[in-house]
Amino acid sequence: MTDMEKGVFQEALDTWGAEPQALCLLEEMAELQDALCKYKRGRRTVEDIAEEIADVGIMLDQMKLHFHIEEKVEAQRAYKVERIKERLQK
């Protein structure tokens, strides 16, 4: 996330609190789940999916900030991408 985004997200956490923002993440994940399910039935578009992925990403970034785990998440991500790569090579 950019420094500007970090500032905005930190202000959101300071204004609304981490717990309500965590609930918001759950809500956004449910909306993404709903969009993906409905897309399969022709009731949602890829634009709807893009919007919900953006929403979830924004809330995940806020959780990374709240828990001070940006670097840990990056390390986990790198490890897991490597693991996928290895599995694909077998």
Interface residue list for Mg ion (CB under 5 A): 28, 31, 55
Give the contacts of 36 (CB within 8 A, at least 6 positions apart): 44, 49
Residue 54 to residues 13, 27, 61, 81, 82: CA-CA distances in angstroms? Answer: 18, 13, 11, 21, 25
Beta carbon nearer to Mg ion, 13 or 49: 49
Shortest reach from residue 20's CB to Mg ion, in Å: 15
Beta carbon nearer to Mg ion, 28 or 61: 28
Beta carbon nearer to Mg ion, 50 or 81: 50
Cβ neighbourhood burial of 18 (10 Å; 0-12, 13-18, 19+): middle
Shortest reach from residue 7's CB to Mg ion, in Å: 22
Shortest reach from residue 70's CB to Mg ion, in Å: 23
